[in-house]
Amino acid sequence: MKTISLLLIAILARGISHGAGIVLSAGTNEHKPCVDLTTSPPSEEDTAAFGSILGVLDVDPDTISVYVSHDPKMKNYGGAISFACEIPNHEIYATYERWIIYDPDLIQGDAARDFVFAHEIAHHMDFRTLSGPRTKKEELRADYDGAKYLLQLGWTKARLLHALDLLNLPQGSQPGYPTLAERKAMVEVAAEPVGPAAPTDLQVFPSSDSQTPDEELFGRLINFTYQGPIRFQSPRTSKYVCAMGTPDPKLPSTKSFAFFDTCERDSGGLFRLRRSPDGNLGYWIMQDANPCPDYAGNCQYALESVGHKLQFWNQNLAADVVGWQKELGDEARFSFETSNPSEGLVRIKANDGGYVFFDLNTAQLRSGGSREQAAEFKVLFDINKNP
């Protein structure tokens, strides 16, 4: 199943060096960048390097395209730019393709090239970025995130600093851009040892809900015969699990949904379990958008596991209530393993492998953990609404 990752606000990212902004033209050809530059495909070596960086991210590699340009205007952009091209003829909402263009004559050396690739990719992954000139804060954020990508590929702090030196960045302060010293300081922060691993000794705290899950319902849940409203509560925080979407009513909320365990008990924390209709064991964990955007014909979202990332997904906002579900693959199905039946505790396991765990670095629930890392959830049934 191909994860939808083109539902973005327009992003206009300038190169890592200083340079003037670029004016986007109307996107009329989805196979070419929507900028007035002469471009060509990158070399096989550069394509492989670009792909290896995308490989550490939970994104479809086809959603970010890389092109080479030797156009003289590239000097104004510091040798690399990143931007978004709007795809025309979408009536419900705007969608975008993401592009990175670089000049290999201006970016010398593999280390410099890879750092620039990671930096520009980070601009695309920062969904808070708006079109227009970059700010100093956004540049440093891209340096930090890009360095993190490269560290996952085995880079060291020394190699990161060497890459910055190869780029011949301005030593002094430039309006809207960090100094070289500030960039190096940010890279050193990124290279610091990561925090502790996900907890393996989660403790159970008393639930604030006086209602005890019914034994029969809990048994049906474990045996794949339950279907109906359900809530999850984190023993780690005593908070409810919920999904939060983008507050922008003009954009589909599928892109920015995240699975949190720091929520109050409200409508956002109520899910519905639906059994797989094809006979395979597993549940779809679903949540309705509330309120439902007026442009969306279908406000049902199914939780899926993409790599180590949990997200809510709706194949087509205008689809009928049942049709889009047929296109969900094994990634979207989850099962429950009993942890402590007397406490109503379960572990959630994705059918394609790996358990849900708590990521201390992001304070979010994620997938792909081991059984020892698995987070535990207290199951709370909505008895009054259960069919």
Q: What digits encode the pLDDT tens for the residues 194-210?
A: 655 544 444 433 333 44
pLDDT higher than 90, residue 184: yes
Q: CA nearest 312: which of 330, 272, 285, 282?
A: 285
> Token pair 């960045």 is at which residue?
169
Please identify which residue in the block is written with the tokens 């993401």. Answer: 98
Strand ranges (E), the chain: 12-13, 64-68, 80-87, 95-102, 228-233, 240-244, 258-263, 271-275, 283-288, 300-306, 309-313, 333-340, 345-350, 355-359, 364-369, 377-381
Residue 279, exposed/middle/buried by CB under 10 A (0-12, 13-18, 19+)?
exposed
User: So where are the chain's domains?
Assistant: 12-190, 215-385
Residue 56 corresponds to which tokens in the numbers above?
A: 């550490």
The answer, yes or no, to whether residue 14 has pLDDT greater than 80, is no
What does each C-alpha distance from 126 to 120, 156, 232, 304, 366 come to in angstroms? 10, 23, 29, 21, 19
Across 306-314, average pLDDT: 76
Q: Which pLDDT band, with edges at 50, 70 and 90, does 16 fall under? A: very low
Give the pLDDT confidence of 253-288 residue by residue, as tens digits. 444 567 888 888 877 788 999 888 777 789 989 888
- pLDDT (0 to 100) of residue 185: 92
Tell me: pLDDT of 128 over 50.
no
**Across 44-53, 87-96, 361-370, least confident range:** 87-96
Give me the phi and psi of 97, to 5 degrees please: -100, 145
Q: Please state which of the ranges 63-77, 180-194, 198-212, 352-366 shows the lowest mean pLDDT.
A: 198-212
How big is the chain by its Cα radius of gyration, in Å? 23
CATH, domain range 215-385: 2.80.10.50
